[in-house]
Amino acid sequence: MDRTERFYRIDQLLSEHRAITFNNLLEALEVSPATLKRDIEYMRNRMNAPIVWDRELRGYRFESVPKTGKQYELPGLWFSPSEIHALLTMQHLLGNIDPGGLLASHVNPLLSRLNGLLGTADNPADEIRKRILIAGVGKRQLKLAHFEKVGSATINRKRLHMAYFSRGKGEATEREVSPQRLMYYRENWYLDGWCHLRNELRTFSVDSIQHCTILNTPAKDIARKTLEHVLGPGYGIFSGTGHKRQTARLLFTAERARWITAEHWHEQQSGHFLKDGSYQLEFPYYDDRELIMDILKHGSDVIVLAPKTLRDKLAYETRKMASQYAEVQG
């Protein structure tokens, strides 16, 4: 480990123990006695670390000091790429999931702590946020009043009466729902719940709820195993409700395979390379709506090998797009 890492490790060890011997520090840091002595002196003299030798305990410890005068402060650390991404992602999510709503009292303190943590890096937090961008693609505006009610009903195990607009059908229906869990997927919130109108598990987009009321009626509880069995094998946000389970078999060109092999399409996916460098990917699905959208974005770099129904739908969508393009050009 480098010198800065050693400083943090020494700080951790001294904080975790009433006192720690010189030999134990050597063993933990894996450095020479001379290096350890220099590190301790540097922390004392340059960083105001209140490190003292306790004769009775025969070890080093932190001395309690008043909160006046020079304060002990560790040097800034530059986070690794994964740590920066994790911190910024958390900050991004916390800042957008529910500003001012159900979670605000918990989110705001977390945001403050993250800002402080980012600010301990060699570059201040504002500079990190300026130079590293996390883009929210496909995000829809969240109706916070509905989210608060949905979240409250989910946590308190109460039913919801709601007017829900189905974008696919273009119509609104009144229904009673027993919420089971909230899910954050592709920067949008969804509610998995038991629909008492349809008598089955359904997934609802929170931003499609036009209005809702929390009822005093206890929510119907669905076993987690049942939730995973019904909703888990589906592709994307769509469950297997009302659809036959099928297996998609896709063939990607050798060039596109460089990206596809690193992508996660489904929990139960499997894939292998062919002799020409192309890549074959297989996974189960029920509802093909989101799957078709994901396939289309790869254009001519993907071929649907099976099932025939998926291949035919994709061919229809391609012909439809070509026809519309020709009309615009013509």
Q: Kindly give, in sequence order, each residue whose CB lies less than 8 Å from that of residue 161, ignoring residues fewer than 6 positions away.
A: 174, 175, 176, 177, 212, 213, 215
* Per-residue pLDDT tens over the stretch 144-176: 568 878 888 998 899 999 999 988 788 999 999
CA–CA separation, 96 vs 88, rounded Å? 12
3-state secondary structure of 215: strand
Rg (CA), the chain: 28
The reported pLDDT for the residue numbered 8 is: 83
- Domain covering 3-62: architecture: Orthogonal Bundle (1.10)
Q: Kindly give, in sequence order, each residue whose CB lies less than 8 Å from that of residue 321, ignoring residues fewer than 6 positions away.
A: none
The reported pLDDT for the residue numbered 290 is: 86
CA–CA separation, 313 vs 250, rounded Å? 14
CATH topology assigned to domain 144-231: SH3 type barrels. (2.30.30)
The reported pLDDT for the residue numbered 149 is: 85
Stretch 266-293: mean pLDDT:
92
When the pLDDT of each residue in the chain is averaged and rounded to a whole number, the result is: 81
The reported pLDDT for the residue numbered 33 is: 93
The reported pLDDT for the residue numbered 95 is: 58
Q: Is 186 left (phi over 0), alpha (psi -120 to 50) or beta?
A: left
CA–CA separation, 321 vs 148, rounded Å? 40
Q: Which amino acid is located at 8 in the chain?
A: Y
The reported pLDDT for the residue numbered 207 is: 85
The reported pLDDT for the residue numbered 281 is: 96
The reported pLDDT for the residue numbered 90 is: 62
pLDDT > 80? residue 265:
yes
pLDDT > 90? residue 21:
yes
The reported pLDDT for the residue numbered 247 is: 93
**Helix/strand/coil (H/E/C) assignment for every residue in 52-88:** EEECCCCEEEECCCCCCCCCCCCCCCCCCHHHHHHHH
Q: Which amino acid is located at 133 in the chain?
A: L
The reported pLDDT for the residue numbered 51 is: 92
More confident residue, 256 or 67: 256
CB atoms within 10 A of CB 108: 14
The reported pLDDT for the residue numbered 276 is: 95
pLDDT confidence band for 220 (50 / 70 / 90): very high
- Out of 94-98, 179-183, 259-263, least confident range: 94-98
Stretch 196-217: mean pLDDT:
91
More confident residue, 114 or 225: 225
Stretch 291-318: mean pLDDT:
93
Per the omega criterion (within 30 degrees of 0), is the bond before 307 cis?
Answer: yes
Domain ranges of the chain: 3-62, 81-131, 144-231, 246-329
CA–CA separation, 177 vs 149, rounded Å? 13
